[in-house]
């Protein structure tokens, strides 16, 4: 496809026209900014004078208060003395706190804990947090235990709700022993 290149005079004319347009816009903006300059707004001046008078009045009042006030050292001492007297009167008696130890489950192997959990969820569906609190183990330990029980098919996980709830399956009831047997915490 052939492209016709215009004469150099036409190209130079377009470039000159571009720069003349830019220069014209700059001159127009400079002239416009000079013509739009007006003196300060009289409403602003009156407002500024009003605030200046108020500021001067406040400074005069502050100076008068400073002259009437006692020396700073005396004022501080008068404030501190009543506080020292009050602190001497207050005597706090503390009784040693009794440490309450929560009962922990005895260390059981996996089967003991699994059977205990299966016994717990025969009564009602429980979340992993409920199971964690009941058996007194860490969150990681409880989640691994519940995952293992779920993969073995001993418990059923309800994923429709958050947090997940677990209930015992028929296979879990058989492993636990009799369906009526329930282990309580």
Q: Which of 15-24, 94-103, 120-129 has the lowest mean pLDDT?
A: 94-103
Of 157, 153, 151, 152, residue with least CA distance to 131? 157
Q: Are strands 126-127 and 155-158 parallel, antiparallel or unpaired?
A: unpaired
Q: Does domain 110-176 have CATH number 3.30.1490.20?
A: no
Give the residue extent of every domain in the chain.
44-88, 110-176
Tell me the per-residue pLDDT of 43-91, one tens digit each, with 9 for 90 and over. 788 889 999 999 999 999 988 887 776 666 666 777 777 666 665 555 5
């Amino acid at each position: 496809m052939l492209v016709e290149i215009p004469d150099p005079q036409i190209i130079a004319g377009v470039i000159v026209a571009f720069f003349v347009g830019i220069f014209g816009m700059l001159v127009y903006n400079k002239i416009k900014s000079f013509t739009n300059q007006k003196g300060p707004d009289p409403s602003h001046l009156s407002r500024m004078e009003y605030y200046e008078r108020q500021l001067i009045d406040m400074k005069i009042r502050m100076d008068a208060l400073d002259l009437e006030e006692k020396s700073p050292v005396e004022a501080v001492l008068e404030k501190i003395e009543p506080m020292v007297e009050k602190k001497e009167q207050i005597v706090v008696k503390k009784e040693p706190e009794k440490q309450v130890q929560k009962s922990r489950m005895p260390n059981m192997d996996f089967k003991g804990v699994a059977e205990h959990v299966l016994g717990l969820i025969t009564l009602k569906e429980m979340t992993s947090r409920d199971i964690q609190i009941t058996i007194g183990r860490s969150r990681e330990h409880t989640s691994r235990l519940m995952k293992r029980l779920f993969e073995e098919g001993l418990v059923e996980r309800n994923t429709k709700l958050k947090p997940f709830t677990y209930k015992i399956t028929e296979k879990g009831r058989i492993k636990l022993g009799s369906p009526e047997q329930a282990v309580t915490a």
